Each structure stands twice: as structure tokens, then as C-alpha cells.
Structure 1
Amino acid sequence: MGNANLPLIVVGGGLGGLSFALALGQNGRRVHVLEQAAQISPIGYGIQLGPNVFKAFDRLGLSETVRAAADCPVSLVMPDADSGETLIQVPLTSEKFYRRYTNPYIVIHRADIHNILLDACRRTPGVELTVNATAVGFEDRGGDGVRVTCADGRTFDGAALIGADGIKSRVRNYVAGESPARSVGYVAHRTIIDMKDVPADLPHQQDVVLWAGPGYHVVHYPLRHGTIFNIVAVFKDPAPGHGDLRVTHEEDVNHVYANAHPALKTLLSMMNLERRWVLADRDPIRQWSRGRVALLGDAVHPTLQSLAQGAGMAIEDAVCLADLLHSMDYDYERAFSEYPRRRLVRSARIQLASRELWEVYHAEGIAREVRDAGLQGRGEDDYYDCLDWVWKGDPSLVEA
């Protein structure tokens, strides 16, 4: 069913949009990706991908390529940011880990995973990529498909439209109505440094580390086979009026981390503070589509970073939706109706659990003492039991 002469249009050339385009192209369908930027390229920092994402990578035929470009950290570690005491340590390369999850937990430079997907799309017949295309208008023409209008007046016709345009999605506004993202009152600074410049006394340099402090956390891990080091510093915004302005924030940062562990302070002194990202998410919604227009990834279920699953959820969405469309012979109404039945509860659980963990990471005062006491005595299996529902993957995804 559907108009086979027209491509599906994807608004957004990020990880979710490219994964969907690739999956659709591999199913023999034409797809046209519209990206508003002058080139399809990501911000150059690291991301984490759990073993669950490899079920989707297997489907896309990219697992070995991704593994070769990624680093496999030894453990997930959460030290107390003031004392340095290890509160949580979850092994990621043990025999027990692989027995449970089969696939690795990886960290990878966002540009590297993005380029792997981009190269695969360029090699796939039927996948077209257009940059400098800021989609601002959407028209559902029923059986005649959809029309997308760009800011410069160009129009593109397609059989259906997929909004993969992130937390500030214009397509979401069309599907579910306009509403602001939910600011959580925290900001992030991101920096990459050369591995040789990492302070010698910084512990856990081969791990994914989240230093948990009162009202803040710092994440770091190695990238590109241990040659560079990714750092993210997150804290309550003492000056929310600054927004995303490119101003320096040394005074804010020095105040927030005044009592931090000395090794952590040394690392923070190397941060690039010219740019901050205001962190936000949205409440889960049921309205994932409207007519021949559907959403995926952060456009429909943006999440906080607590479970490191934002990219993973977008890639899972992409493969699920592409395969539903293919299996239902591009009956858009049926496929778009079934899609949230497969994905809503899983993605909403990620969103809501991430909010709960956010409070755990940033606990202050008595709540912090209660958290630390509750973590005592927990072992490897306890953490795996808690994470099975995330890391074992989406059971609805069709095996490759």
C-alpha cells in the first residue's frame, strides 16, 4: 500500500533519522533525509551506547563496524565527588556481563558513529540526503502523500513524513501541538582533551565514571581507543537567564565544585567553559503520529542522560518503525498505530526512570546520606538485575 513512487521523507539527519533511512533503504524503499544544517555532521563529543542497541545494529549490518570504532570501558563507576569513595561499580567486560547481554557496552565519538551511519546511507540505493533544508511547513494530503515546505520556499513531496528533528521538533508541534520542553534547571559543559593531559592521579581512567556530588555530577571516559578523553560537567544552573549564550562561566563552576575531590578539581580546570547546554526533557505522550506523519527519537520521547539511552532509544525506534512499515506493506495507518504499542512503554520507562536517577545522582544533605547507605553491600548481580530491562533490548525488534 502507500504511494510507492514517492520517497518517505525524514526531517532530521541525526542518529535516529539516519538509522531509519538506512533501514528503509535496505528494505528497498526510497527515502529522502532533509537536514537543516549546512552539512550532516554532529557536535564532536562522546556518547554511550548500551548492549541493547546492538540488536538494532545487527539488523542494519553495522555491528562489527561500530565495535571497531568504539571503546569498551571496563566498568561503570560512581564515586562520591567530594570524598572520592566508590559508591557503585558495575563490571562491563566480565564473563558474567557477556553471558547476560552478549554484546558490549561501548563509548564512541559521536562523529564516528554518525559517519558510520552516513557512509552506510550513501552506499544504499534509494537514500537521498539534502542539507540546508529547514522544514517549517507540513501538509498531509491523504492518499497523495505529504508535502514539506522549507524556510527557503522549496517543497518536497513524499509518501509519508518521519520527524526525527530532536527535542525542539517542529514536526512534533504538527503532530502533538506546541509545548515547551521541561527544563530541569541543570546545565552541561562538554570538553575533549588529549589522553596524555589527563591528571595522573585521576582514578578510573579506563572506565565510564560519574562523580556524584550535591547538585552536580561529572562524567568522563576515554574515546578513540584511549587517545582522547571526554568530560561532561553538569550542575544546577545558578544563572538560568544565561541560557545557551556563549559566555564564560568560571565563577559558576568554581563555586559549584568548591568542595570536589582534588583530582576532580584538576580535571575541571581543563574544561572549556565557553558553551553550556541547558538540559531538558519532556513528559511521555501517546500521540506519536497524525495521519501520514510520525515521530521518532528525541522528537517524541526526549530523556535526561541518567541512563545514557537517548541515542539508543532513537536507533531502536528507527529499526522498529522501518520494519513495521515494511512488514505491513506501507500501510501507514496500521504501521503508525502499531508503532507506539511496541515502543511507548519502553521509551516512557526510560524517560521516567532517568528522572528518578537524576535525583539519586544529585542528592544533597540527608538524602545523600540515605542514598549512600542504600548502596552499601550491592554487588554485580544486583546492578545487572536492575538494568536487565534496559540492556537486554527491545523484545519487539525483529532479529536480523
Structure 2
Amino acid sequence: MSESNVSAPTSLGIKGKRVAVIGAGPGGIAAGVALHQAGFSVKVFERHPELRPLGGAIILNATGIVILRGLGVQVDDIFAAGLPEFRRYDGRVRVNFDIDMDLLKQAGVTGWQSGMMRSELYERLLAAAPADMVVPNHTFSHYEEHAEGVTVHFAEGRTYDADLVIGADGVQSKVREQLWGASELKHLGIAVWLGWCELQGPERKKIVIQHNHAYQMGYAPLRYKDKDCFEWWFVEKCEENQVEPTDPAAYVRERINGFSYPVPQILEATDTSHNLFRWVVKYRDPLKQWSNGRVTIMGDAAHPTSPYAAYGAGMAIEDGYFLAKYLRGRDLSDPKALEIGLRRYDDQRVNYTNQTTAFARFLGRLYHGVPAPLNRLRDLFLDHSSLPEKLISKGVTSEAQALLRAVLNPVD
């Protein structure tokens, strides 16, 4: 559409309060709700004509639950909290995660993490959002900064004036590309099969990650439509253009042969024709800064992660919480006030998420990038060393629990 046919931009509200979020995934909607509660006029733009969650189940931890509760999202009936463990394929425990149970009690949960159906979380986030906050059928094209703010252009020909643009548009983020330039989307070397099933019987107090010399199979309890369920994930080494098997269920079943109860039972209970899909993991080199001028990014646009962090959606929800926290009370039309708020957001999130995603990539390569027969020596090391537990504590649980404390006991 030519510029002459484009009408004047529509203002998103009162100058100084106008926020445009690009992308209506769970992170984008959570950010919209948080910013709305902080007093801003927010629109969340989604390119699809209908709002629909992608994927099956996700993992959330106690920090995400505390944040969602604060946003008015009902989650306690679908958060089947458990404590995570790394185990060998035969059930031998290799690493118990060091979790502060008093901290979990303060957070009002019985465990550190839980599986959760993305669709149910999405529906409940929408229920907590203002009715007109999410705007479908808007495909982001580009933005233009100017003295009065920033104008957002969409491929359908519409334009909107805002004070701040937030790119929550995923691993293929166009906002990130315009803000920081093109970057290579790299292949991590692993693929993940994601599934879920209804199943009663197995213990529901643990989130278990099991490995043999070549494969990982993990599972987590969840509640879905008032039923006991499990989500699960199977991780394998993968070439970038590796052809998918014609019979995914048989393919996974053959590779988990020998895994202990309840892994085979969880797979057998899964409707693999509907509740199983494959994800080839990609990542980008981390940024040292997310925000510049009147634009910032969050979620997978900022920190795409691998399944060894198991927390992409959760980190996106955290991003929205802290962004709203540091912008609350600020006049976004004042460049200095906006700069200070965005700098505090970057300071809180960039290093933390870079560390989390880097450690996840390290674990992915450790378990799936070591060639035979060195992978057998690796397994002997994992069975007889305390170093993995120390690495997990340093790389995952210590920082994550410090973040939960910051959310439970906020200071300006």
C-alpha cells in the first residue's frame, strides 16, 4: 500500500502512557496486563486473524506463578508443583535440585516447577486482560522514531502512534532485527519431541529428567481440565535438515527402550496422532543490551532458549513483570525518564537470561554433543561426581531462587 493511501496514525491513548506490544504469545499478553495495571494504555498486536496458542504444554516455576497471581490470573488449580531431579535412564538419581522449601512456602506453592498446558494459560491470561487490549490481524512491518514518539507500521496499512514499542514477536522477531540488525539463527544440534497425556498412578511430586548415553526423556505433572496429566519431552541429537520419521511414536519408543517406570507408560498413554509434535531447537547469539530509544524486546525475541532451560514462557512472563515495574509512574514521552526505566529493565534481565540460556546450551551439548565412545565416559563421570549438582545449583537454582525472593519482596 502506498504512503498516500495510508491515513494518519491512530494514537494509542494519552501521550506519555502509550505502549505497543508486538506479539500476543503468553509473554506479550502478560506484559500487556502488567503494563495496564501499572497505568499505561496498552495494545498487543497479533499477526494472526484469530488468537490461538501454539504448542502443547510448557513449564512454569514458582516465580512465574507468583507473578501471574499478581496479575489476577487464576493458576493454582492447574499448577501441579513438583521438585526437579536429574536421573539415569534406569531411575538412579544423579542430581537433586537444591530448593529452599521455606521460600516455596512463602510463595504459596508445594514445589518448584510444574507442567502447564499453553492453551489453558493463554485463555486465563486473556481473561485477565482488558477486553480490547489484544488486536489481531496486524502484521508488524517497521517502526519510525520521531520527536513526538514512535509510529508503528503494519503490513495491512494501519499505523499507530506510541511512546514505547516492545518486541515480543518470537525467535524470528522483526522488531529485534530493525532495532539491532540481522543476526544468524543458529542450529543448536538437538531436536525435541513434545507430548502430553492423561495418566493416573505415577508419583506427581517430582519433575524428572532422565538420560541414557544418547537420549533424554523428561516428564512433569500437570492438571488439565480437572484431570491428572503429564507433559513429556524427548530430546535427541539432530542434524539441521534431518528428515522426520514417518511413525513418531515408534521412533521415540525404540529410543527409550530400557527407561524405567513410568516413562514407557507415559508414552503409551499419549495420543501421538494429536498430542505430539517436534521442535528443532534454534538460538541466536546473546545481546548485551535489549533497549534503545523508544524500543525494547522481550521473550524469545531477546533470549531464545533450549529445552535444558525448560523455561522460555516463564522467562518471558518475568520480562513483562520487571518491565512494568521499572516503568511504573514514568512519563514515557520524557526521553530521559524512559531511558532510565529501560536501563533498569536491561540491568535486571539481560545478564540473568543470558546466563540461563548459555547454561541450557551447555547442558544440551554435554548430553547430545559428545561423540561415542566419550559419551560413556561422560556417563561414568555423571554417576560418580558431585560436580553436576554444584553446576546445577550455580547455573540454575541459586539465581532463580534469588529472583523469586526479589518478586516476593519487591524494592524500588
TM bin, normalised by shorter chain, reads 0.7 to 0.9
Aligned 8 A contact 1:303 1:310 in 2: yes
Partner of 1:216: 215
Asked if 1:178 is matched to 2:169, the reply is: no
Partner of 1:42: 53
Aligned 8 A contact 2:24 2:44 in 1: yes
Three-state SS of the structure 1 residue aligned to 2:230 is: strand
Asked if 1:130 is matched to 2:129, the reply is: no
Q: CA deviation at 1:206?
A: 4.4
Q: CA deviation at 1:288?
A: 0.9
Q: CA deviation at 1:298?
A: 1.3
Q: CA deviation at 1:347?
A: 1.3
Asked if 1:342 is matched to 2:348, the reply is: yes
2: CA distance between counterparts of 1:355 and 1:271? 30
Q: CA deviation at 1:32?
A: 0.6
Output the TM-score relative to the length of structure 1. 0.82
Of 65, 79, 92, the residue aligned with 1:85 is 92
Output the TM-score relative to the length of structure 2. 0.80
Asked if 1:190 is matched to 2:194, the reply is: yes
Deviation larger for 35-44 or 259-268: 259-268
Three-state SS of the structure 1 residue aligned to 2:169 is: coil
* Unaligned runs of at least 5 residues, structure 1: none
Q: CA deviation at 1:300?
A: 0.8
Change (3 A) 1:220 1:146: same
Aligned 8 A contact 2:43 2:135 in 1: yes
Aligned 8 A contact 1:71 1:223 in 2: yes
1:116 is aligned with what amino acid? Answer: R
Asked if 1:70 is matched to 2:76, the reply is: no
Three-state SS of the structure 2 residue aligned to 1:147 is: strand
Change (3 A) 1:358 1:26: same
**1:161-202 Cα deviation digits (max 9, x unpaired):** 100111111111011111122211111112222215xxx6xx
Change (3 A) 1:10 1:366: same
**1:85-129 Cα deviation digits (max 9, x unpaired):** 22234487x955636866552422222222222111136xxx621
2: CA distance between counterparts of 1:129 and 1:293? 19
Aligned 8 A contact 1:187 1:278 in 2: yes
1:88 is aligned with what amino acid? Answer: V
Aligned 8 A contact 2:217 2:256 in 1: no
Partner of 2:160: 156
Deviation larger for 287-296 or 307-316: 307-316
Aligned 8 A contact 1:210 1:217 in 2: yes
2: CA distance between counterparts of 1:395 and 1:173? 34
Partner of 1:390: 400
Partner of 1:235: 236
Of 114, 117, 125, the residue aligned with 1:109 is 117
2: CA distance between counterparts of 1:38 and 1:210? 38
1: CA distance between counterparts of 2:249 and 2:75? 36
Q: CA deviation at 1:144?
A: 2.2
Q: What are the within-5 Å matches in structure 2 for residues 1-400 of structure 1?
A: 4-5=14-15, 7-57=18-68, 59-62=70-73, 65-73=74-82, 75-81=83-89, 83-90=90-97, 95=101, 98=104, 103-104=109-110, 105-107=112-114, 108-122=116-130, 128-140=133-145, 142-196=146-200, 204=203, 206-224=205-223, 226-237=227-238, 240-242=240-242, 248-249=247-248, 253=252, 256-257=255-256, 260-261=259-260, 264-265=263-264, 267-268=266-267, 270=270, 272=272, 275-330=277-332, 331-362=337-368, 364-375=375-386, 387-393=397-403, 399=410
Percent identity (aligned): 25
Aligned 8 A contact 2:177 2:183 in 1: yes
1:272 is aligned with what amino acid? Answer: T
Alignment RMSD (CA, Å) = 3.4
**1:308-364 Cα deviation digits (max 9, x unpaired):** 332222122112112222243323233223321222221111112222232444462
**How many residue pairs are counted as aligned between the two chains?**
381
